């Protein structure tokens, strides 16, 4: 069973955050057709030009650059320590808060990151599946 479907032992954190592309799951955003500002997750009203009803669905880039990050040695229940998180800037002008995976030693500001899908925490023994950015 691929990790991109909800099962008895896992669930997708929020189906609405994702869209299918030929390359696999991508983050599902909205792009304002009037001013071009792009958002994640999807939304209805553009807060740059206040245009309503002219958003189009877009699949966001799976690649981005790491704006900043931390490796946490303490955290809320459900996270396996240590775990990493940070902000990733996507080429569409969207900054996404994301769990980070891969080799933590390779995390640095400006690093090129690629989105993956996988477990981000446990909730009552169920894996919660979400997006994770990893250094390329």
CB of 64 to other proteins, least distance (A): 12
75 touching other proteins, by CB under 8 A:
yes
Residue 42 exposed, middle or buried by CB count within 10 Å (0-12, 13-18, 19+): middle
The whole-angstrom separation of Cα 21 and Cα 135 is 21
46 touching Zn ion, by CB under 5 A:
yes
The whole-angstrom separation of Cα 107 and Cα 69 is 8
CB of 23 to other proteins, least distance (A): 22
DSSP 45: B
Closest C-alpha to 14, from 28, 24, 30: 28
35 binds, among other proteins, Zn ion, none (CB under 5 to 8 A by kind): Zn ion
| Binding track, positions 102-131, relative to other proteins; x by CB under 8 A | -------x----------xx--------x-
Among residues 35, 72, 109, 136, the one that binds Zn ion under rule CB under 5 A: 35
């Amino acid at each position: 069973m691929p990790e991109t479907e909800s099962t008895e032992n896992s669930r997708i954190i929020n189906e609405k955050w994702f869209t299918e592309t030929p390359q696999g799951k991508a983050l599902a955003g909205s792009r304002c057709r009037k001013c071009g500002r792009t958002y994640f997750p999807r939304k209805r009203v553009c807060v740059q030009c206040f245009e309503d009803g002219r958003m189009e669905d877009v699949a966001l880039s799976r690649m981005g650059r790491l704006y900043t990050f931390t490796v946490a040695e303490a955290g809320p229940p459900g996270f396996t320590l240590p775990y990493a998180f940070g902000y990733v800037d996507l080429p569409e002008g969207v900054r996404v808060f994301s769990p980070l995976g891969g080799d933590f030693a390779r995390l640095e500001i400006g690093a090129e990151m690629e989105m993956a899908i996988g477990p981000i925490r446990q909730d009552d023994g169920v894996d919660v599946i979400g997006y994770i950015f990893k250094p390329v």
